[in-house]
Amino acid sequence: MTEIIDGNAVAEGIREELTSCVESLASDDERPTLATVLMSPDPASETYVSMKQNDCEEIGIETRDVEIDLDAPASDLFETIDDLNADDDVNAILVQSPVPDHIDYREVLERIDPLKDVDAFHPENVGRLVAGYPRYKPCTPHGIQQLLAATDVETEGKDAVIVGRSRIVGKPMANLFIQKAPGGNATTTVCHSRTDDLASKTREADIVVGAAGVPELIDGSMLTEGTVVIDVGINRVDADNEKGYELVGDVDFESAKEKASAITPVPGGVGPMTRAMLLYNTVKATSLQTD
Ligand code: GUN
């Protein structure tokens, strides 16, 4: 029987543990606070940010909500970040991407105090991860590690194939899989849009992570019996329904399920874990700042 990995249930367990951490910090007058900054031309960003804020409030993390006009100069965003960096009541800062074209996102990432960078996108935090002593782990790959652990999937000595080389998922996932620590010690291959014969790589895998942003790129014919399949994709495709679209992953769920020993659904797999790990990083940031 193929196990359908329940990301909502695993995330709920993590939120419960974090709730008591938040209460204990709050009793020392150190209630965690996450500031979100929204200056995004993507209409979906507003929904994502409000989901992150609701998640925080549910477990007692305070939020600050900063919205900046899309046509405001870059200096407005940078001054906002400077103010949040300097504010001792703010432990964590997240600038939702994408930002408008007239703003260099790299400059944004480098402006955020690395101690408050709960996305773990600042080059200092990326460098620490690559060097093997992460401060914060990026939320999606960390969530995947937690999901594998909760499903009793051993990574040590296994062949992990990541499809996608993004800064947010593919690259940090590879770094976590090769680290000498629980959830690591995997023999790791990173495939991407220029990979020849992708199926020959995925067929060799014990664990496949689909994170290319291509709808249903990976199907059952590309998998070997018993593979663990983690689907990071959330792709909007046209559909003949009320909304006119549906969300599909990077994995063709129905055919992949026939081969997989365990597989994440979309939605309800990786997504809730990404959100839970943002809460985890916010709690961690608060602890690091109170030590
Ligand atoms: N936009 C899409 N995903 C993310 C994320 O994980 N963090 C931020 N800051 N922006 C995003």
pTM over 0.90: yes
- CB 40 less than 6 A from any atom of ligand 1: no
Catalytic residue among 113, 117, 119, 252: 119
For domain 139-271, the CATH superfamily is: NAD(P)-binding Rossmann-like Domain (3.40.50.720)
Q: Is 182 exposed, middle or buried (0-12, 13-18, 19+ CB in 10 A)?
A: exposed
DSSP character at residue 115: G
Can 96 be counted among the known catalytic residues? yes
Mutate to test the pocket of ligand 1, among 81, 95, 96, 171 (most ligand atoms within 8 A of CB): 96
In the chain, CATH 3.40.50.10860 covers 29-114
Question: How far is the centre of ligand 1, averaged over its atoms, from the C-alpha of 94 (Å)?
Answer: 8
Can 53 be counted among the known catalytic residues? no
16 three-class SS? helix
In the chain, CATH 3.40.50.720 covers 139-271
pLDDT at 207: 99
pLDDT at 171: 98
Tell me, what's the ipTM?
0.95
Instruction: Identify whether the C-beta of residue 162 lies closer than 8 Å to the C-beta of residue 191.
Output: yes
Within 8 A by CB and 6+ apart from 247, the residues are 234, 235, 236, 237, 266, 267
pLDDT at 81: 99
pLDDT digit string (tens) for 191-247?
999 999 999 999 999 999 999 999 999 999 999 999 999 999 999 999 999 999 999
Positions in the chain short of pLDDT 70: 291
Q: CATH assignment of 29-114, given 3.40.50.300, 2.130.10.10, 3.40.50.2300, 3.40.50.10860?
A: 3.40.50.10860
